[in-house]
Each structure stands twice: as C-alpha cells, then as structure tokens.
C-alpha cells in the first residue's frame, strides 16, 4: 500500500511538472534581457514596456472585451431561457431540441468557424466585430444553458409549488424564488462564457474581418511571426488574468454553497 501511494504520488507530481513547467518557463523568460537567446541574460522589464506601448495590442484588447461582454449578455439571456423552458413541463420533441442544443458543443470548432464564415459571406454581411460577436454568442449559448440547467435540475420543484400555494403567480414564483436560487449558476455560466469568448481563436479567426482583430488573433499573428520575449510577457499577463478569473468563479461557487 505504501509503495503504491508513493508511486501514485510521484506519477501525479510528474503530471503537475508537465502541466506547469512550460507556463513557468514562459513567465520566467518574460523577464530575460536577451531578445533571442534561451539563456538567462539578466533581468528586465523592457518587454512589458514594449507591450504597454503597443497601440494595436490595446485595440485588440478593447475589441476582445467588447465582443466578450456583448456576446456573453446575449448568450446568458438566451441560455437561461433555453434552460428554464427545457426544465419545465416536458413537451413533445423535447429530446430533439435537447440534442440540437448540445450539438454546438461536440462538433469541431473549425467546422463551426467555416460554416459561419460561409453563411456571413453568402448573406453578404461583412465580416466584422458584429459577425464575431454573433458567432461567440452561438457557441456560448449552449454552455450557459447546460450550466444553468444542471443547477435548475437540483432545485427542489416544491419550492416553486410552495410559492404558488402561497398565492404567487407563475411569474412571481419564478422571479421571487427560482431566479434568486439560480443566480450563482447564471453568473457562473456567464463568467465561463466570457472567459471562453476572450480565449476563442478558431471561430474568431474565420469570422473576423479587417479591423476586427481580437486579442487571440493578435497573439496568433505575433506567434506566427516568431518567438519573442514580448509574447512571453503578454502570455504571463494572460495566465495571471485567467487565474484571477478562476478565483472569481471559485468565490461565486463558495457563495453558491453558502446559499444551500
């Protein structure tokens, strides 16, 4: 038993090293004074300074935030209404609708990207931030719906019945009882959608037009033009931002548990 645990622990630690060493190395070398070499040449902040001064990068961040916020709002509103209507009284053809709702989660992203691009080109909607936002809302809608529905499924339906019994209309019962209990899941789903939107590359790649460069597109073009410590610096910042977002979602989860 003892030997087995030691073996499992070392295998697990090896996995952790595999998962974290690349990120750690990346962050470390964002402070390296040498532009080309992978040997340590001294400490510097100059790559971060270059980042801050990059106007195009700033524009890309703005675009990403804009797309993220708007597509998250759309996906959240639509996703919650999908979850709520699916979790209520069962109806004919429900299984088909449920399957259709999950399809965007399983098909390859490349496929979704080209399909949207084709569609926009054929209906002659110019590729822009608008088309990017529409696409993000489309793949985030099912994600929000799944998260909210899981929470809805765990709620005791007798709560809403109790509210009805105490004289609430169906809408009042939903508004006053179900929605507040659902809020942590709604926020969690929205946060997830926002993160995915900020990180999305493939769908954006196919649906973005000139002047609608988002942060991942900018990162991609930087990476494509070769390794540079500026990308290391940008990566380090992105890693820290995603950690902050995880912290936020954990805080939301804790609140959810507190409400139980």
Partner 1 sequence: MSPSDPSTTLSDHSPISRRPTWLLLPPLAWLGAFFFVPLLLVLAISFATRGTYGGVEWTFSFANYVTMLDPLYLKIYLRSLALAVATTALCLLLGFPLAYYIARAPARWQGIWLLLVIIPFWTNFLVRTYAWMFILRTEGLMNTLLMGMGLIEHPIEILYSDTAVLIGLVYGYLPFMVLPLYAAVERLDRSVVEAAWDLYAPAWAVFRRVIWPLTKPGVIAGCILVFIPSLGAFITPDLLGGARTMMVGNLIQHEYLVARDWPFGSAISFVLMGLVLLGMLVYLKVERARQGDETVSWAGGDRQ
CA distance 133 to 131: 5
Residue 122 binds partner 1 (CB under 8 A) = yes
The 8-class DSSP code of residue 246 comes to H
Q: How far is the CB of 27 from partner 1 (least distance, A)?
A: 9
Are the CB atoms for 71 and 199 separated by under 8 Å?
no
Angle between helices 179-199 and 55-87 (to 10 degrees): 140
Closest CA to 52 of 232, 230, 244: 230
Specify the residue, 10 or 62, whose C-beta has the smaller distance to partner 1. Answer: 10
Residue 15 binds partner 1 (CB under 8 A) = yes
Among 58, 110, 150, 179, binds partner 1 (CB under 8 A): 110
Q: How far is the CB of 162 from partner 1 (least distance, A)?
A: 10
With contacts defined by CB under 8 A, how many residues of the chain interact with partner 1?
89
Specify the residue, 58 or 105, whose C-beta has the smaller distance to partner 1. Answer: 105
Footprint of partner 1 on 137-176 (CB under 8 A): 137-138, 141-142, 145, 153-158, 161
Quote the Cα angle for 69-143-246, to 5°: 65
How far CA 173 is from CA of 160, 195, 224, in Å, comes to 6, 32, 54
Give SS3 for 225.
coil
Residue 257 binds partner 1 (CB under 8 A) = no
Q: How far is the CB of 161 from partner 1 (least distance, A)?
A: 6
Angle between helices 109-122 and 129-154 (to 10 degrees): 130
Footprint of partner 1 on 209-248 (CB under 8 A): 216, 219-220, 223-224, 227, 231-232, 235, 238-239, 242-243, 245-246
Specify the residue, 43 or 171, whose C-beta has the smaller distance to partner 1. Answer: 171
Q: How far is the CB of 256 from partner 1 (least distance, A)?
A: 15
């Amino acid at each position: 038993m003892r030997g087995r645990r030691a073996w499992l622990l070392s295998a697990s630690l090896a996995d952790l090293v595999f998962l974290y060493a690349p990120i750690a190395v990346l962050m470390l070398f964002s402070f390296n004074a040498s532009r080309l070499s992978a040997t340590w040449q001294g400490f510097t902040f100059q790559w971060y300074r270059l980042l801050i001064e990059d106007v195009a990068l700033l524009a890309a961040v703005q675009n990403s935030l804009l797309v993220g916020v708007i597509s998250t709002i759309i996906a959240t509103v639509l996703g919650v209404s999908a979850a709520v209507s699916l979790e209520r009284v069962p109806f004919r053809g429900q299984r088909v609708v449920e399957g259709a709702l999950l399809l965007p989660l399983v098909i390859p992203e490349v496929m979704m990207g080209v399909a949207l691009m084709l569609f926009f080109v054929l209906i002659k909607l110019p590729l822009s931030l608008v088309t990017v936002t529409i696409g993000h809302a489309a793949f985030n809608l099912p994600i929000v719906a799944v998260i909210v529905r899981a929470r809805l499924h765990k709620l005791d339906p007798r709560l809403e019945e109790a509210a009805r019994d105490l004289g609430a209309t169906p809408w009042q019962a939903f508004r006053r009882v179900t929605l507040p209990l659902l809020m942590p899941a709604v926020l969690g789903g929205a946060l997830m959608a926002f993160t995915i939107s900020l990180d999305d590359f493939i769908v954006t790649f196919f649906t973005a037009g000139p002047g609608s460069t988002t942060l991942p597109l900018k990162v991609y073009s930087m990476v494509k033009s070769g390794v540079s410590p500026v990308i290391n610096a940008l990566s380090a910042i992105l890693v820290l931002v995603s950690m902050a977002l995880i912290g936020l979602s954990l805080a939301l989860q804790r609140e959810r548990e507190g409400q139980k």
